Structure 1
Amino acid sequence: MAEGENTGSPEQTNAENGDATGMAVTPSYQNKNENTFLIDERESPKNLAKLYTAALAISWVSILFSLGSGIAAIVLSFSNRSESLFAYGLDALLDSLSSVAVVWRFMDSTDHAKSRIREYKACLVIGVLFLVSAFSLICRSILAIVTRTKIAKHVTLFIEISLTCGLVTLIIGLIKVYLGYRIGSRALYTDSIITLVGAATCFMALAGLELYLQNKGLWFLDSVFGMVCGVFLIFFGLRLLYQTIKNKPPE
């Protein structure tokens, strides 16, 4: 027999070429989700532990900042009748809830099988939060247009809050995108979308304010911006739920 000839069965060969850490691998599940986000087992355990710690840290920062700024934005949106600012406040509160789901997902994540189950459940929760946020935002924006609610803003305070929240939220969102990509976590990556939508609504609120100050006939733009964000959240939320349910991991 020629030296180096492989006499093992295909199953043995696959096993030998499998996970170098000795962890069980489910080929059918991995192949099925080859182009989707998974727990990234290619990272070394040390690097993965650091990434998990960073994911937990940024999620806690997001929870605290989103909760505080969200409440402040909603209160200010009622006094200034701004749908874009209300959109940010609502998005921020739901962002804090989705970040709680991400924290739960990354706690005690040494078991990869358990991590996949938690990833699945966290994505379901985040998808539902997308839809709740979207429908609430669209309904409020439509009501504002029907009742011809015109914005009345305390300009300086409005600009300070919108700009600060927008910049901080943008930074947090980009960090989440990076960590979600490195870890391979759909839950964290999707949570970053909610965060980035929050940043977008802040900048839309500033744009709406500037346009309104130049032309009072554009009072409806603030509500239109809110509806645009709502429609985006609906489509993204439905897409997330569909992909999550379709790629449900084995129990």
Structure 2
Amino acid sequence: MNDYREFENILQSSQDEQIRKKVVIIEYASIVLTILCLLSSGFLAFFDDSMTAMAVSGDSLLDILVHLIVLWRYYKPLNFNPKKMDKYASILLSILFFISSICIEYESIRNLITHTKPIPSLIFIAISIGQSITFSLLSIYKFYLAQNFTQSGALISSGIDSLVTGISNFSMALSMGIFVMNRRIWYLDSSFGIGIGLVIFIYGVYLLISVVTKD
């Protein structure tokens, strides 16, 4: 019986090590894709004077930090103080989620108050749709890896971050597409932003509480 358990533990450790290597690769890919997102949105913000694209650029910077933290968490072997690394990574991620939610809420509420309307851009819609599909697929793969991973806390947070990025890009494309068809409906982008900001804030609170109350 003890031999069977020992074999099972060795098998699980081997599986975790394989998944850890895949996580490192997928986080590198996430960083590269987020940098491309940052550059494309920055390009649109500069040439089209788009506040929405500027907000996406700022959010992309925070996303890069999120992926760097998760990469730091899983870059080392699994026997390198995994519980402490999970705790530190989760605390840092919760702080970044708080900062991201505050920035999104501020920008969205300010745009609603000042009646700031988006600048129609078919290029921006196409880029947003592409980024939405890409980051949504990334999040699905991260959640898939987390299913069989014994140390998946930071990976789940990274998956949620990628999912939020995908949803944000889709909401921007949808709201701008509706605005192009009906110029009176200008407030959807900011309204979506408020909802997304609240979701990010709630998850940040949940993540921080789960770390603090964890034995």
Percent identity of equivalent pairs? 23
Q: What residue number does 1:189 align with? A: 156
Residue among 85, 105, 115 paired with 2:73: 105
Q: Aligned partners of 1:42, 1:182: CA distance in 2, in Å? A: 15
Structure 1 position 217 matched with structure 2 position 202: no
Aligned pair count? 212
Q: Aligned partners of 2:57, 2:165: CA distance in 1, in Å? A: 8
Normalising by structure 2, we get a TM-score of 0.88
Shift of 1:228: 1.0
Q: Aligned partners of 1:74, 1:231: CA distance in 2, in Å? A: 25
Contact 2:73–2:89, Cα closer than 8 Å, also in 1: yes
What code does the residue aligned with 1:20 have? R
State how 1:94-243 maps to structure 2 within 5 Å.
94-111=62-79, 114-155=81-122, 157-184=123-150, 185-243=152-210
Structure 1 position 44 matched with structure 2 position 12: yes
Q: What residue number does 1:20 align with? A: 5
Structure ranking higher in helix proportion? 2
SS at match of 2:106: helix
Distance 1:125 1:108, change over 3 A: same
Q: Aligned partners of 1:141, 1:77: CA distance in 2, in Å? A: 16
Q: Aligned partners of 1:133, 1:45: CA distance in 2, in Å? A: 35
1:76-113 per-residue CA deviation (whole Å, 9 max, x = no partner) reads: 25635354x5554444332221111111111222316x
Q: Aligned partners of 1:19, 1:147: CA distance in 2, in Å? A: 66
Q: What residue number does 1:26 align with? A: none
Q: Aligned partners of 1:18, 1:142: CA distance in 2, in Å? A: 61
Q: Aligned partners of 2:132, 2:54: CA distance in 1, in Å? A: 13
State how 1:53-64 maps to structure 2 within 5 Å.
53-64=21-32
Distance 1:57 1:181, change over 3 A: same
Shift of 1:43: 5.0
Shift of 1:174: 0.9
Larger Rg: 1
What code does the residue aligned with 1:81 have? S
Distance 1:87 1:18, change over 3 A: farther
Shift of 1:123: 0.7
Normalising by structure 1, we get a TM-score of 0.76
Distance 1:50 1:213, change over 3 A: same
In structure 2, runs of 5+ residues without a counterpart are none
In structure 1, runs of 5+ residues without a counterpart are 1-15, 23-40
Shift of 1:158: 1.2
CA RMSD across the alignment:
2.4
